[in-house]
Structure 1
Amino acid sequence: MNTMKNTIDGTWFRRYAPSASTRMRLLCLPHAGGSPSFYHSWGNAFGDDVEVLVARYPGRQERIAEPCIESMEEMADAVTAALLPLLDKPLALFGHSMGASLAYEVAVRLEREHGFGPSVLLVSCQRPPHGQRPRSAHLGGEESVLAEVRRLGGTDAALLEDPDIRELVMPALQADFAIVGRYAENGPRPAVPVRCPVIGYVGDRDPNVTVEEMHAWAGVAPKGFELKVLQGDHFYLVPQRDGLVADLTSRLH
Protein backbone atom coordinates (compact mmCIF):
# COMPACT_ATOMS: atom_id res chain seq x y z
CA MET A 1 0.00 0.00 0.00
CA ASN A 2 2.83 2.39 0.85
CA THR A 3 4.48 1.59 -2.46
CA MET A 4 1.32 2.64 -4.32
CA LYS A 5 1.13 5.88 -2.37
CA ASN A 6 4.74 6.67 -3.27
CA THR A 7 3.96 5.92 -6.90
CA ILE A 8 1.15 8.48 -6.83
CA ASP A 9 2.88 11.22 -4.88
CA GLY A 10 6.52 10.87 -5.75
CA THR A 11 6.86 9.50 -9.22
CA TRP A 12 4.25 10.24 -11.86
CA PHE A 13 2.31 13.21 -10.49
CA ARG A 14 2.97 16.41 -8.67
CA ARG A 15 -0.14 16.96 -6.57
CA TYR A 16 -1.34 20.40 -5.51
CA ALA A 17 -3.55 21.00 -2.49
CA PRO A 18 -5.22 17.62 -2.01
CA SER A 19 -7.88 17.98 0.68
CA ALA A 20 -10.79 16.17 2.24
CA SER A 21 -13.12 18.43 0.25
CA THR A 22 -11.75 17.35 -3.16
CA ARG A 23 -14.67 17.05 -5.56
CA MET A 24 -12.70 16.27 -8.72
CA ARG A 25 -9.19 16.17 -10.10
CA LEU A 26 -7.59 17.97 -13.04
CA LEU A 27 -4.59 16.23 -14.61
CA CYS A 28 -2.31 18.46 -16.69
CA LEU A 29 -0.06 16.79 -19.27
CA PRO A 30 2.86 19.01 -20.37
CA HIS A 31 4.20 19.70 -23.85
CA ALA A 32 7.38 18.20 -25.30
CA GLY A 33 10.21 19.21 -23.00
CA GLY A 34 7.71 20.45 -20.43
CA SER A 35 7.62 19.78 -16.71
CA PRO A 36 5.30 20.37 -13.73
CA SER A 37 6.88 23.77 -13.03
CA PHE A 38 5.14 25.13 -16.14
CA TYR A 39 1.81 24.66 -14.30
CA HIS A 40 2.92 25.87 -10.89
CA SER A 41 0.57 28.88 -10.95
CA TRP A 42 -2.37 26.54 -11.65
CA GLY A 43 -1.89 24.58 -8.45
CA ASN A 44 -4.48 26.41 -6.34
CA ALA A 45 -6.29 28.26 -9.12
CA PHE A 46 -9.47 26.18 -9.38
CA GLY A 47 -10.83 26.32 -5.86
CA ASP A 48 -10.41 24.13 -2.79
CA ASP A 49 -12.50 21.32 -4.24
CA VAL A 50 -10.40 20.75 -7.40
CA GLU A 51 -7.13 18.91 -6.90
CA VAL A 52 -4.54 19.67 -9.58
CA LEU A 53 -2.16 16.94 -10.73
CA VAL A 54 0.68 17.53 -13.19
CA ALA A 55 2.42 14.62 -14.89
CA ARG A 56 6.12 14.15 -14.23
CA TYR A 57 7.66 12.54 -17.29
CA PRO A 58 10.79 10.42 -16.75
CA GLY A 59 14.21 11.87 -17.51
CA ARG A 60 13.79 15.40 -16.11
CA GLN A 61 13.76 17.29 -12.82
CA GLU A 62 13.07 14.86 -9.96
CA ARG A 63 13.18 11.90 -12.41
CA ILE A 64 16.30 12.94 -14.28
CA ALA A 65 18.14 9.71 -13.46
CA GLU A 66 15.43 7.60 -15.10
CA PRO A 67 15.50 6.63 -18.77
CA CYS A 68 13.25 8.71 -21.01
CA ILE A 69 10.22 7.24 -22.75
CA GLU A 70 10.22 7.56 -26.54
CA SER A 71 6.82 6.23 -27.59
CA MET A 72 3.32 7.62 -27.11
CA GLU A 73 1.94 4.17 -26.43
CA GLU A 74 4.39 3.48 -23.60
CA MET A 75 3.84 6.93 -22.08
CA ALA A 76 0.05 6.64 -22.26
CA ASP A 77 0.11 3.15 -20.76
CA ALA A 78 2.29 4.34 -17.87
CA VAL A 79 0.23 7.45 -17.10
CA THR A 80 -2.99 5.42 -17.25
CA ALA A 81 -1.63 2.80 -14.85
CA ALA A 82 -0.46 5.50 -12.41
CA LEU A 83 -3.93 7.07 -12.47
CA LEU A 84 -5.81 3.96 -11.42
CA PRO A 85 -5.62 4.63 -7.65
CA LEU A 86 -7.02 8.11 -8.28
CA LEU A 87 -10.26 7.19 -10.02
CA ASP A 88 -12.38 7.54 -6.90
CA LYS A 89 -13.22 11.11 -7.99
CA PRO A 90 -14.27 12.61 -11.33
CA LEU A 91 -11.25 13.37 -13.52
CA ALA A 92 -10.65 16.04 -16.16
CA LEU A 93 -7.67 15.81 -18.53
CA PHE A 94 -5.84 18.85 -19.91
CA GLY A 95 -3.00 18.45 -22.39
CA HIS A 96 -1.00 21.04 -24.30
CA SER A 97 0.70 20.22 -27.63
CA MET A 98 2.25 16.74 -27.20
CA GLY A 99 0.31 16.57 -23.94
CA ALA A 100 -2.98 16.92 -25.84
CA SER A 101 -2.30 13.74 -27.81
CA LEU A 102 -1.25 12.05 -24.56
CA ALA A 103 -4.43 13.22 -22.79
CA TYR A 104 -6.53 11.77 -25.61
CA GLU A 105 -4.68 8.44 -25.53
CA VAL A 106 -5.08 8.24 -21.74
CA ALA A 107 -8.81 8.98 -22.06
CA VAL A 108 -9.19 6.18 -24.62
CA ARG A 109 -7.34 3.73 -22.37
CA LEU A 110 -9.33 4.64 -19.26
CA GLU A 111 -12.58 4.08 -21.13
CA ARG A 112 -11.58 1.00 -23.10
CA GLU A 113 -9.58 -0.90 -20.50
CA HIS A 114 -10.96 0.31 -17.17
CA GLY A 115 -14.52 1.43 -17.86
CA PHE A 116 -13.79 4.89 -16.47
CA GLY A 117 -14.91 7.94 -18.43
CA PRO A 118 -13.17 11.27 -17.80
CA SER A 119 -15.56 14.15 -17.18
CA VAL A 120 -14.06 16.26 -19.94
CA LEU A 121 -11.06 16.16 -22.32
CA LEU A 122 -9.33 19.53 -22.72
CA VAL A 123 -6.90 19.70 -25.63
CA SER A 124 -4.61 22.59 -26.53
CA CYS A 125 -2.65 23.35 -29.71
CA GLN A 126 -2.52 19.90 -31.27
CA ARG A 127 -4.13 18.18 -34.21
CA PRO A 128 -6.54 15.34 -33.39
CA PRO A 129 -5.40 11.76 -33.99
CA HIS A 130 -7.05 11.54 -37.40
CA GLY A 131 -5.50 14.90 -38.36
CA GLN A 132 -1.93 13.87 -37.58
CA ARG A 133 0.77 14.22 -40.20
CA PRO A 134 4.40 13.10 -40.22
CA ARG A 135 6.85 15.16 -38.13
CA SER A 136 10.58 14.84 -38.68
CA ALA A 137 12.38 17.12 -36.20
CA HIS A 138 13.48 14.13 -34.12
CA LEU A 139 15.28 12.62 -37.10
CA GLY A 140 17.70 15.52 -37.55
CA GLY A 141 19.51 15.37 -34.23
CA GLU A 142 19.93 18.02 -31.58
CA GLU A 143 20.05 21.03 -33.90
CA SER A 144 16.86 20.02 -35.66
CA VAL A 145 15.02 19.72 -32.34
CA LEU A 146 16.41 23.06 -31.15
CA ALA A 147 15.27 24.73 -34.38
CA GLU A 148 11.73 23.42 -33.83
CA VAL A 149 11.70 24.62 -30.22
CA ARG A 150 12.79 28.09 -31.35
CA ARG A 151 10.09 28.10 -34.05
CA LEU A 152 7.40 27.36 -31.49
CA GLY A 153 8.75 29.90 -28.98
CA GLY A 154 7.91 30.05 -25.29
CA THR A 155 10.16 30.20 -22.27
CA ASP A 156 11.80 26.87 -23.13
CA ALA A 157 13.39 28.38 -26.23
CA ALA A 158 15.04 31.18 -24.26
CA LEU A 159 16.34 28.82 -21.57
CA LEU A 160 17.94 26.57 -24.16
CA GLU A 161 20.33 29.35 -25.17
CA ASP A 162 22.20 28.57 -21.94
CA PRO A 163 24.65 25.74 -22.79
CA ASP A 164 24.49 24.21 -19.29
CA ILE A 165 20.69 24.08 -19.29
CA ARG A 166 20.66 22.77 -22.85
CA GLU A 167 22.99 19.90 -21.93
CA LEU A 168 20.80 19.02 -18.97
CA VAL A 169 17.44 18.97 -20.77
CA MET A 170 18.34 17.83 -24.29
CA PRO A 171 17.93 14.08 -23.64
CA ALA A 172 14.34 14.55 -22.44
CA LEU A 173 13.59 17.06 -25.19
CA GLN A 174 14.85 14.72 -27.89
CA ALA A 175 12.88 11.83 -26.39
CA ASP A 176 9.68 13.89 -26.38
CA PHE A 177 10.17 14.94 -29.98
CA ALA A 178 10.66 11.26 -30.82
CA ILE A 179 7.29 10.58 -29.17
CA VAL A 180 5.69 13.28 -31.32
CA GLY A 181 7.40 12.13 -34.51
CA ARG A 182 6.68 8.44 -34.06
CA TYR A 183 3.06 9.09 -33.10
CA ALA A 184 2.50 10.67 -36.51
CA GLU A 185 5.07 8.80 -38.59
CA ASN A 186 2.39 6.98 -40.56
CA GLY A 187 0.13 10.00 -40.87
CA PRO A 188 -3.48 10.04 -39.61
CA ARG A 189 -4.43 7.66 -36.82
CA PRO A 190 -7.84 6.09 -36.12
CA ALA A 191 -10.47 8.53 -34.86
CA VAL A 192 -11.52 6.55 -31.80
CA PRO A 193 -14.32 8.54 -30.12
CA VAL A 194 -14.27 9.40 -26.43
CA ARG A 195 -17.38 9.32 -24.26
CA CYS A 196 -16.99 12.80 -22.81
CA PRO A 197 -17.19 16.36 -24.13
CA VAL A 198 -14.01 17.68 -25.75
CA ILE A 199 -12.95 21.32 -25.44
CA GLY A 200 -10.19 22.69 -27.66
CA TYR A 201 -7.94 25.69 -27.09
CA VAL A 202 -5.59 27.39 -29.54
CA GLY A 203 -3.74 30.65 -30.00
CA ASP A 204 -4.83 32.69 -32.99
CA ARG A 205 -1.20 32.96 -34.17
CA ASP A 206 -0.05 29.43 -33.46
CA PRO A 207 2.61 28.48 -36.08
CA ASN A 208 2.00 24.79 -35.55
CA VAL A 209 -1.76 24.22 -35.79
CA THR A 210 -4.60 26.19 -37.35
CA VAL A 211 -8.04 26.96 -35.98
CA GLU A 212 -9.51 24.76 -38.72
CA GLU A 213 -7.27 21.84 -37.73
CA MET A 214 -8.34 22.21 -34.11
CA HIS A 215 -12.00 22.07 -35.16
CA ALA A 216 -11.34 18.52 -36.42
CA TRP A 217 -11.35 17.30 -32.81
CA ALA A 218 -15.13 17.24 -33.25
CA GLY A 219 -14.54 13.97 -35.11
CA VAL A 220 -13.77 12.15 -31.85
CA ALA A 221 -16.33 14.01 -29.72
CA PRO A 222 -19.85 12.61 -30.19
CA LYS A 223 -20.73 14.09 -26.76
CA GLY A 224 -19.94 17.56 -28.03
CA PHE A 225 -17.00 19.75 -29.05
CA GLU A 226 -16.30 23.42 -28.48
CA LEU A 227 -13.26 25.47 -29.52
CA LYS A 228 -11.90 28.53 -27.72
CA VAL A 229 -9.50 30.74 -29.69
CA LEU A 230 -7.29 32.99 -27.59
CA GLN A 231 -4.83 35.69 -28.60
CA GLY A 232 -1.28 34.42 -28.85
CA ASP A 233 1.04 31.85 -30.36
CA HIS A 234 1.81 28.24 -29.46
CA PHE A 235 2.37 29.26 -25.85
CA TYR A 236 -0.66 31.56 -25.56
CA LEU A 237 -1.36 29.95 -22.17
CA VAL A 238 1.37 32.05 -20.52
CA PRO A 239 0.09 35.57 -21.34
CA GLN A 240 -3.54 34.35 -21.39
CA ARG A 241 -3.22 32.38 -18.16
CA ASP A 242 -6.05 34.13 -16.27
CA GLY A 243 -8.56 33.88 -19.10
CA LEU A 244 -7.68 30.25 -19.75
CA VAL A 245 -7.94 29.31 -16.07
CA ALA A 246 -11.33 31.04 -15.86
CA ASP A 247 -12.62 29.10 -18.86
CA LEU A 248 -11.23 25.80 -17.56
CA THR A 249 -12.86 26.44 -14.19
CA SER A 250 -16.23 26.75 -15.91
CA ARG A 251 -15.72 23.25 -17.42
CA LEU A 252 -14.85 21.50 -14.16
CA HIS A 253 -18.20 20.32 -12.90
Structure 2
Amino acid sequence: MSKKSTWLARHSSDSSAVRRIVCFPHAGGSASFFRPWVKHLPPTVELLAVQYPGRENRYAEPLVGTVAECAAESAEALLAEPARETVLFGHSMGAAIAYETMRLLEVAGAAHFTRLCVSGRRISEFPDPADAVPRTDTQILSDMAELGGTQAEVLDEPDLREMLLPIIRNDYLLIDRYRPPRDAVPIGADVLALIGDRDPQVDERQVKAWASVTTGAFEWRVFSGGHFYLTDHARRVVELATAPSRNSASPGKVR
Protein backbone atom coordinates (compact mmCIF):
# COMPACT_ATOMS: atom_id res chain seq x y z
CA MET A 1 0.00 0.00 0.00
CA SER A 2 1.36 3.43 -0.90
CA LYS A 3 2.36 6.09 1.59
CA LYS A 4 -0.36 8.27 0.09
CA SER A 5 -3.11 5.87 1.17
CA THR A 6 -1.80 5.29 4.69
CA TRP A 7 -0.19 8.50 5.88
CA LEU A 8 -2.80 10.91 4.52
CA ALA A 9 -6.51 10.87 5.34
CA ARG A 10 -8.50 12.76 2.73
CA HIS A 11 -11.38 14.53 4.48
CA SER A 12 -12.41 16.54 1.42
CA SER A 13 -11.40 16.63 -2.20
CA ASP A 14 -13.06 18.39 -5.11
CA SER A 15 -12.07 18.63 -8.76
CA SER A 16 -12.24 22.41 -8.39
CA ALA A 17 -9.75 22.48 -5.47
CA VAL A 18 -6.78 24.76 -6.11
CA ARG A 19 -5.43 24.93 -2.55
CA ARG A 20 -4.88 22.46 0.29
CA ILE A 21 -4.52 22.37 4.06
CA VAL A 22 -2.80 19.41 5.69
CA CYS A 23 -3.32 18.91 9.44
CA PHE A 24 -1.02 17.13 11.92
CA PRO A 25 -2.74 15.83 15.11
CA HIS A 26 -1.65 16.19 18.74
CA ALA A 27 -0.19 13.44 20.95
CA GLY A 28 -2.64 10.55 21.08
CA GLY A 29 -4.71 12.22 18.37
CA SER A 30 -5.76 10.93 14.98
CA ALA A 31 -6.68 12.31 11.58
CA SER A 32 -10.40 12.31 12.39
CA PHE A 33 -9.86 15.14 14.90
CA PHE A 34 -9.82 17.55 11.96
CA ARG A 35 -12.75 16.11 9.98
CA PRO A 36 -15.23 18.73 11.33
CA TRP A 37 -13.14 21.45 9.67
CA VAL A 38 -14.59 20.46 6.29
CA LYS A 39 -17.69 22.57 6.93
CA HIS A 40 -15.53 25.69 7.29
CA LEU A 41 -13.78 25.28 3.94
CA PRO A 42 -14.92 26.14 0.40
CA PRO A 43 -14.71 23.44 -2.31
CA THR A 44 -11.61 25.18 -3.68
CA VAL A 45 -9.63 24.14 -0.57
CA GLU A 46 -9.16 20.44 0.10
CA LEU A 47 -8.56 19.10 3.62
CA LEU A 48 -6.08 16.32 4.35
CA ALA A 49 -4.84 15.10 7.71
CA VAL A 50 -1.79 13.04 8.58
CA GLN A 51 -2.65 9.65 10.07
CA TYR A 52 0.09 8.42 12.38
CA PRO A 53 0.54 4.63 12.72
CA GLY A 54 -1.22 2.82 15.56
CA ARG A 55 -4.61 4.54 15.38
CA GLU A 56 -7.90 4.28 13.49
CA ASN A 57 -7.30 2.60 10.10
CA ARG A 58 -3.60 2.10 11.03
CA TYR A 59 -4.31 0.58 14.45
CA ALA A 60 -2.40 -2.66 13.76
CA GLU A 61 0.79 -0.88 12.65
CA PRO A 62 3.78 -0.30 14.97
CA LEU A 63 4.01 3.13 16.56
CA VAL A 64 6.63 5.55 15.27
CA GLY A 65 9.50 6.33 17.63
CA THR A 66 10.75 9.76 16.55
CA VAL A 67 9.54 13.09 15.19
CA ALA A 68 12.12 12.76 12.42
CA GLU A 69 10.57 9.49 11.21
CA CYS A 70 7.07 10.98 11.24
CA ALA A 71 8.28 14.03 9.32
CA ALA A 72 10.14 11.98 6.71
CA GLU A 73 7.13 9.75 6.03
CA SER A 74 4.76 12.72 5.94
CA ALA A 75 6.99 14.65 3.54
CA GLU A 76 7.28 11.66 1.22
CA ALA A 77 3.49 11.24 1.15
CA LEU A 78 2.93 14.95 0.50
CA LEU A 79 5.46 15.10 -2.31
CA ALA A 80 3.45 12.37 -4.06
CA GLU A 81 0.36 14.62 -4.09
CA PRO A 82 -0.47 16.90 -7.04
CA ALA A 83 1.33 20.22 -6.61
CA ARG A 84 -0.95 23.00 -5.41
CA GLU A 85 -0.58 25.75 -2.84
CA THR A 86 -0.50 23.99 0.52
CA VAL A 87 -0.67 25.01 4.18
CA LEU A 88 0.64 22.74 6.95
CA PHE A 89 -1.21 22.99 10.27
CA GLY A 90 0.02 21.20 13.38
CA HIS A 91 -1.41 21.24 16.88
CA SER A 92 0.75 20.50 19.96
CA MET A 93 2.95 17.51 19.05
CA GLY A 94 1.67 17.93 15.51
CA ALA A 95 3.22 21.42 15.35
CA ALA A 96 6.70 19.96 15.84
CA ILE A 97 6.09 17.29 13.19
CA ALA A 98 4.63 19.85 10.77
CA TYR A 99 7.67 22.10 11.26
CA GLU A 100 10.12 19.26 10.58
CA THR A 101 8.03 18.19 7.59
CA MET A 102 8.14 21.72 6.17
CA ARG A 103 11.91 21.78 6.53
CA LEU A 104 12.18 18.56 4.50
CA LEU A 105 9.75 19.79 1.85
CA GLU A 106 11.76 22.97 1.32
CA VAL A 107 15.01 20.99 1.08
CA ALA A 108 13.28 18.94 -1.64
CA GLY A 109 12.54 22.17 -3.52
CA ALA A 110 8.75 21.99 -3.16
CA ALA A 111 7.85 25.69 -3.33
CA HIS A 112 4.08 25.17 -3.24
CA PHE A 113 4.11 24.68 0.55
CA THR A 114 3.61 28.32 1.48
CA ARG A 115 2.58 28.48 5.15
CA LEU A 116 3.29 26.67 8.40
CA CYS A 117 0.70 27.02 11.16
CA VAL A 118 1.84 25.96 14.62
CA SER A 119 -0.70 25.67 17.42
CA GLY A 120 -0.30 25.08 21.15
CA ARG A 121 3.43 24.44 20.94
CA ARG A 122 6.62 26.26 21.89
CA ILE A 123 9.86 26.18 19.86
CA SER A 124 12.38 26.58 22.70
CA GLU A 125 12.93 26.40 26.49
CA PHE A 126 12.81 22.62 26.89
CA PRO A 127 14.34 20.45 29.62
CA ASP A 128 17.26 18.16 28.83
CA PRO A 129 15.97 15.40 26.49
CA ALA A 130 18.27 12.94 28.26
CA ASP A 131 15.86 13.15 31.20
CA ALA A 132 12.90 11.94 29.10
CA VAL A 133 11.49 8.60 30.23
CA PRO A 134 8.11 6.96 29.52
CA ARG A 135 5.39 8.52 31.63
CA THR A 136 3.34 6.42 34.01
CA ASP A 137 -0.40 5.93 33.62
CA THR A 138 -0.97 8.28 36.54
CA GLN A 139 1.18 11.00 34.96
CA ILE A 140 -0.55 10.63 31.61
CA LEU A 141 -4.04 10.80 33.10
CA SER A 142 -3.04 13.84 35.15
CA ASP A 143 -1.56 15.60 32.12
CA MET A 144 -4.61 14.86 29.98
CA ALA A 145 -6.95 16.17 32.67
CA GLU A 146 -4.91 19.40 32.85
CA LEU A 147 -4.97 19.88 29.08
CA GLY A 148 -8.68 19.09 28.76
CA GLY A 149 -10.32 18.39 25.42
CA THR A 150 -12.47 15.44 24.40
CA GLN A 151 -9.56 13.00 24.79
CA ALA A 152 -9.56 13.48 28.56
CA GLU A 153 -13.23 12.47 28.64
CA VAL A 154 -12.57 9.38 26.52
CA LEU A 155 -9.98 8.20 29.04
CA ASP A 156 -12.76 7.84 31.62
CA GLU A 157 -13.89 4.70 29.76
CA PRO A 158 -11.78 1.71 30.96
CA ASP A 159 -11.69 -0.14 27.63
CA LEU A 160 -10.80 2.96 25.65
CA ARG A 161 -8.24 3.96 28.26
CA GLU A 162 -6.50 0.59 27.95
CA MET A 163 -6.36 1.01 24.17
CA LEU A 164 -5.24 4.66 24.12
CA LEU A 165 -2.72 4.84 26.95
CA PRO A 166 0.09 3.01 25.06
CA ILE A 167 -0.38 5.36 22.10
CA ILE A 168 -0.35 8.48 24.25
CA ARG A 169 2.65 7.22 26.24
CA ASN A 170 4.59 6.63 23.02
CA ASP A 171 3.67 10.05 21.62
CA TYR A 172 4.63 11.80 24.86
CA LEU A 173 8.02 10.10 24.87
CA LEU A 174 8.49 10.92 21.19
CA ILE A 175 7.86 14.62 21.77
CA ASP A 176 9.71 14.72 25.12
CA ARG A 177 12.84 13.53 23.31
CA TYR A 178 12.49 15.95 20.38
CA ARG A 179 14.48 19.16 20.23
CA PRO A 180 14.48 21.58 17.28
CA PRO A 181 17.94 21.61 15.67
CA ARG A 182 19.90 24.63 16.86
CA ASP A 183 21.62 25.11 13.50
CA ALA A 184 18.48 24.72 11.36
CA VAL A 185 18.31 26.87 8.24
CA PRO A 186 15.22 29.12 8.53
CA ILE A 187 12.33 28.09 6.32
CA GLY A 188 11.02 30.44 3.66
CA ALA A 189 7.34 29.71 4.23
CA ASP A 190 5.19 32.12 6.20
CA VAL A 191 4.56 31.10 9.82
CA LEU A 192 1.37 31.59 11.83
CA ALA A 193 1.56 30.71 15.55
CA LEU A 194 -1.60 30.21 17.62
CA ILE A 195 -2.32 29.51 21.30
CA GLY A 196 -5.08 29.65 23.87
CA ASP A 197 -4.69 32.24 26.62
CA ARG A 198 -5.08 29.58 29.34
CA ASP A 199 -2.78 26.97 27.81
CA PRO A 200 -0.60 25.54 30.62
CA GLN A 201 2.13 24.50 28.18
CA VAL A 202 2.90 27.68 26.23
CA ASP A 203 2.47 31.40 26.77
CA GLU A 204 2.36 34.51 24.61
CA ARG A 205 6.09 35.19 24.90
CA GLN A 206 6.93 31.65 23.85
CA VAL A 207 4.58 31.64 20.89
CA LYS A 208 6.27 34.77 19.52
CA ALA A 209 9.59 32.88 19.48
CA TRP A 210 8.38 30.99 16.39
CA ALA A 211 9.37 34.10 14.43
CA SER A 212 12.96 32.84 14.60
CA VAL A 213 12.32 29.81 12.35
CA THR A 214 11.37 31.72 9.19
CA THR A 215 12.59 34.37 6.78
CA GLY A 216 9.00 34.75 5.59
CA ALA A 217 6.11 36.63 7.15
CA PHE A 218 5.29 35.85 10.79
CA GLU A 219 2.02 36.32 12.65
CA TRP A 220 0.68 35.17 16.00
CA ARG A 221 -2.75 35.00 17.58
CA VAL A 222 -3.99 34.33 21.10
CA PHE A 223 -7.49 32.85 21.45
CA SER A 224 -9.62 32.53 24.56
CA GLY A 225 -9.36 29.01 25.88
CA GLY A 226 -6.97 26.31 27.01
CA HIS A 227 -4.75 23.88 25.16
CA PHE A 228 -7.63 22.75 22.94
CA TYR A 229 -8.94 26.25 22.26
CA LEU A 230 -9.21 25.35 18.56
CA THR A 231 -12.30 23.20 19.08
CA ASP A 232 -14.26 26.30 20.13
CA HIS A 233 -12.69 28.56 17.50
CA ALA A 234 -12.48 26.18 14.55
CA ARG A 235 -14.01 28.53 11.99
CA ARG A 236 -11.67 31.42 12.82
CA VAL A 237 -8.62 29.15 13.01
CA VAL A 238 -9.41 27.73 9.57
CA GLU A 239 -9.93 31.24 8.17
CA LEU A 240 -6.54 32.39 9.46
CA ALA A 241 -4.72 29.25 8.38
CA THR A 242 -6.06 29.33 4.82
CA ALA A 243 -5.95 33.09 4.24
CA PRO A 244 -3.85 34.20 1.23
CA SER A 245 -0.13 34.07 1.95
CA ARG A 246 1.53 37.12 3.52
CA ASN A 247 -1.71 38.32 5.06
CA SER A 248 -1.25 41.93 6.14
CA ALA A 249 -3.54 41.65 9.18
CA SER A 250 -1.86 42.68 12.40
CA PRO A 251 -1.14 40.07 15.09
CA GLY A 252 -2.80 40.06 18.46
CA LYS A 253 -5.56 38.48 20.51
CA VAL A 254 -8.76 36.93 19.20
CA ARG A 255 -11.74 36.65 21.54
| CA spacing shift, 1:11–1:188, aligned 2, 3 Å | closer
**2:174 matched residue in structure 1:** 179
Q: Aligned to 2:110, which of 100, 113, 116?
A: 116
**2:252 matched residue in structure 1:** none
Once the 2 structures are TM-superposed, how far is the Cα of residue 188 of structure 1 from its aligned partner?
7.1
Q: Which runs of 5+ in 1 are unaligned?
A: none
- For residues 27-72 of structure 1, what are the alpha-carbon distances to aligned partners after superposition, in whole Å with 9 as ceiling and x for unaligned? 0000001112211111242211111001111001111100001211
Q: Partners in 2 of 1:171 and 1:150 — Cα distance?
A: 17
Once the 2 structures are TM-superposed, how far is the Cα of residue 158 of structure 1 from its aligned partner?
1.1
TM-score with structure 1 length normalisation? 0.89
TM-score with structure 2 length normalisation? 0.89
Q: Partners in 1 of 2:85 and 2:38 — Cα distance?
A: 17
Once the 2 structures are TM-superposed, how far is the Cα of residue 141 of structure 1 from its aligned partner?
2.4
Q: Aligned to 1:229, which of 222, 236, 245?
A: 222
| CA spacing shift, 1:239–1:127, aligned 2, 3 Å | same
Q: Give the secondary structure class of the aligned counterpart of 1:237.
A: helix
Q: Partners in 2 of 1:40 and 1:198 — Cα distance?
A: 23
| CA spacing shift, 1:88–1:201, aligned 2, 3 Å | same
RMSD: 2.0
**2:250 matched residue in structure 1:** none
**Partner AA of 1:232 in structure 2:** G
**Partner AA of 1:127 in structure 2:** R
Q: Partners in 1 of 2:118 and 2:73 — Cα distance?
A: 20
**1:18 matched residue in structure 2:** 13
For 1:59-208, what aligned pairs fall within 5 Å after superposition? 59-112=54-107, 114-117=108-111, 118-128=113-123, 130-134=124-128, 138-184=133-179, 189-208=182-201
**Partner AA of 1:123 in structure 2:** V
Question: How many residues were matched structurally?
Answer: 244
Q: Give the secondary structure class of the aligned counterpart of 1:92.
A: strand
Once the 2 structures are TM-superposed, how far is the Cα of residue 133 of structure 1 from its aligned partner?
3.6
Q: Partners in 2 of 1:227 and 1:133 — Cα distance?
A: 24
Q: Aligned to 2:239, which of 220, 223, 246?
A: 246
Identity within the alignment, %: 37
Is this contact kept in 1: 2:87–2:241, CA < 8 A? no
Q: Which runs of 5+ in 2 are unaligned?
A: 247-255
**2:24 matched residue in structure 1:** 29
Q: Partners in 1 of 2:67 and 2:216 — Cα distance?
A: 25
Higher helix share: 1
| Greater mean alpha carbon deviation, residues 76-85 or residues 96-105 | 76-85
Q: Give the secondary structure class of the aligned counterpart of 2:172.
A: helix
**1:218 matched residue in structure 2:** 211
| CA spacing shift, 1:155–1:97, aligned 2, 3 Å | same
Q: Partners in 2 of 1:100 and 1:94 — Cα distance?
A: 7
**Partner AA of 2:236 in structure 1:** G
- For residues 176-208 of structure 1, what are the alpha-carbon distances to aligned partners after superposition, in whole Å with 9 as ceiling and x for unaligned? 111111104xx8744431111101111011100
- For residues 95-123 of structure 1, what are the alpha-carbon distances to aligned partners after superposition, in whole Å with 9 as ceiling and x for unaligned? 000000111000000111x1113110111
Q: Partners in 2 of 1:188 and 1:149 — Cα distance?
A: 28
Is this contact kept in 1: 2:21–2:89, CA < 8 A? yes
Once the 2 structures are TM-superposed, how far is the Cα of residue 249 of structure 1 from its aligned partner?
3.3
